[in-house]
Amino acid sequence: MSEPTDPPAQPPAQPPKSEGDKPPLSVITPMPAQPQVSWLRRWITSVGETITSLVLYCGGMMVMLGQSLVRGPRRPFALFDTSYQLLQLGIRSLPLTTLMSVFVGMILAWQFGEALNDFGAKNSIGYVTALALVRELVPTLLAVTVGTKMATGMTAELGSMKVTEQIDAISALGADPIKKLVWPRLVASTLAMPLLVAWGNVLAMLGGMLIADTVFDVPAGYFYATYIDELEPLHYVMSQTKALAFGMLAGLVGCYQGFTTKFGTEAVGQSTTETVIAVSVLVLLADFALTTIFMPIG
């Protein structure tokens, strides 16, 4: 007869786990590390955003230019507004134009005179300074200074109108803000800049003549003769073409910045600062492009 077997031993009862019990650290699964954004990706993103904003900025200005060219010449012609803006932009810019042009001519003649005097060729000051002043320095420097002054004035005026909702009021009354506000300023700046550059060319020549006569003993008549002899009609065309382009750019940037001014206490000041930068950069880019076009011609 078989002996009875003992029942299997039961494991000791575990105390019930409370809700606050946590598993030991050894069994916690670590969270995967978050991928870090590399500096290259951040740089590419920044470059992409900058390019996108530049494209949108230039596109917005081209749209405003197209709207102005389509709506502006229609009847009724804004002759009074255009004449008023032309007088304001031209007359108010004459003192700065006079000061800039005279001193640019004097400084350039002095610099070239010192260099030429070392080689015994001081009588060639007129030949050397003529092309540099007429083709390059006078239109470009006046565009950077006077053109920026014009553009910032437009931005401040139109930006204030945008913040105070005066532009919206003009639209609500049935008038076209582009025809009423943008077109007269664009035409005025485009016409005023060539006139100021022509005046600046004369004053720059007189400033150089003064230095040549008083400092280097080059007769004023001889300086004038060599100065005029070096210039050709194409050089004047180049100077006036640059002035037209720079004036249009200044007016376009000033109006666009004013119309896109955001609402807020600092918006007008920020738009004005952006106008200074935009006009300076665009003028230099346009100057390089026009110089590249005209240089093979002469």
How high is the pLDDT of residue 46? 86
278 inside domain = yes
Using the predicted structure, report yes or no on whether residue 153 has a pLDDT greater than 50. Answer: yes
The Cα 17–Cα 3 span in angstroms is 41
Q: What percent of the chain has pLDDT over 90?
A: 57
Q: Which amino acid would we find at residue 202? A: V
Using the predicted structure, report yes or no on whether residue 259 has a pLDDT greater than 60. Answer: yes
How high is the pLDDT of residue 175? 86
Q: Which amino acid would we find at residue 165? A: E
237 inside domain = yes
**Other Cβ atoms within 10 Å of 232 Cβ, number:** 12
DSSP 3-state assignment of 13? coil
Q: Which of 13-22, 97-106, 142-151, 258-267 has the lowest mean pLDDT?
A: 13-22
How high is the pLDDT of residue 28? 53
Q: Which of 180, 165, 172 has the alpha carbon at shortest distance from 261?
A: 165
Using the predicted structure, report yes or no on whether residue 256 has a pLDDT greater than 90. Answer: yes
Number of domains in the chain: 1
Residue 16 banded pLDDT, cuts 50, 70, 90: low
How high is the pLDDT of residue 6? 54
Q: Extract the tokens encoding 121.
A: 């060729």
Mean pLDDT of the chain: 86
15 inside domain = no
57 inside domain = yes
Using the predicted structure, report yes or no on whether residue 236 has a pLDDT greater than 70. Answer: yes
Q: Which of 212, 257, 292, 294 has the alpha carbon at shortest distance from 64?
A: 257
Using the predicted structure, report yes or no on whether residue 64 has a pLDDT greater than 60. Answer: yes
26 inside domain = no
List pLDDT tens digits, range 23-52: 555 555 555 555 555 788 888 888 888 889
2 inside domain = no
The Cα 245–Cα 197 span in angstroms is 12
Q: What is the pTM of this model?
A: 0.81
Report angle CA 285, 188, 264 to the nearest 5 degrees.
75
How high is the pLDDT of residue 14? 56
Average pLDDT of the segment spanning 148-176: 91
Using the predicted structure, report yes or no on whether residue 1 has a pLDDT greater than 50. Answer: no
The more confidently predicted of residues 202 and 49 is: 202
How high is the pLDDT of residue 18? 53
- Residue 78 · residue 176 · CB < 8 Å: no
Domain limits for position 126: 48-294
- Residue 123 · residue 182 · CB < 8 Å: no
170 inside domain = yes
Rounded to 10 deg, the angle between the 233-259 and 183-214 helix axes is 130
Q: Which amino acid would we find at residue 138? A: V
List pLDDT tens digits, range 278-290: 999 999 999 999 9
Q: Which CA distances in Å does 122 have to 171, 211, 230?
A: 62, 12, 16
List pLDDT tens digits, range 106-147: 999 999 999 888 888 888 898 999 999 999 999 999 999 999
User: Residues 33, 39, 40, 41: what is their CA dihedral angle, to the nearest 10 degrees?
Assistant: 60
The more confidently predicted of residues 29 and 166 is: 166
270 inside domain = yes
Residue 159 banded pLDDT, cuts 50, 70, 90: very high
- Residue 255 · residue 186 · CB < 8 Å: yes
